[in-house]
Amino acid sequence: MSTPNPCLFCRISEKSLPADVVWEDDDIVVFKDIHPKAPIHLLIIPKKHIKSLADADDNDEAILGKLLLTVKNMAAKLGIEASGYRTIINTRSHGGQEIDHLHIHLLGGEPLGPMRSR
Ligand code: 5GP
Ligand code: ZN
């Protein structure tokens, strides 16, 4: 028996861990956040294991662009393009990143207010 992938989001991408997947293609998986912070809270991830935005390099140019376009397309599909939405990429410890696999949060479905001030 092979050892399970230590990365939670790789396991979701490989389908060895269940998740509420709403869309995917060869490069990207979109699934619902398990602890939603808004009526719509999706996570958009590359199938390729990239630890964080800070770990992406020039070879990742295409996938980084595709991730953002997927956010835009998902928002349109869910009917929140006109009302608007928030995208968040938490990076490493000061950014509050808990899962070390690059992901974009897509939040919407209600007014989210301004970002927290200091
Ligand atoms: P981060 O703080 O790393 O930017 O966000 C990680 C997000 O992943 C959190 O919002 C958390 O709720 C979500 N999350 C953590 N574990 C799981 C899981 O097993 N399944 C799903 N669907 N989301 C998860
Ligand atoms: Zn991973």
Average pLDDT, the chain: 96
Pocket of ligand 1 (CB under 6 A): 8, 19, 31-35, 43, 90, 96-99
What pLDDT score was predicted for residue 1?
A: 61
Atom of ligand 1 nearest to the CA of 41: 10
Gap between the Cα atoms of 110 and 80, Å rounded: 9
8 Å CB contact between 97 and 91? yes
Give tens-digit pLDDT for 94-107.
999 999 999 999 99
- The token duo for 29 is 């998986």
**Over 80: is that where the pLDDT of 118 sits?**
no
Question: 5 C-alpha vs ligand 2 centroid, how far in Å?
Answer: 8
% of the chain exceeding 70 in pLDDT? 98
Residues by chain with Cβ below 5 Å of ion ligand 2: 7, 9-10, 49, 101
Strand pairing class (21-24; 85-88): unpaired
Angle at the Cα of 105 from the Cα atoms of 74 and 30, rounded to 5 degrees: 45
In tens, the pLDDT along 41-95 reads 999 999 999 999 999 999 999 999 999 999 999 999 999 999 999 999 999 999 9
Paired sense of beta strands 40-46 and 85-88, if any: unpaired
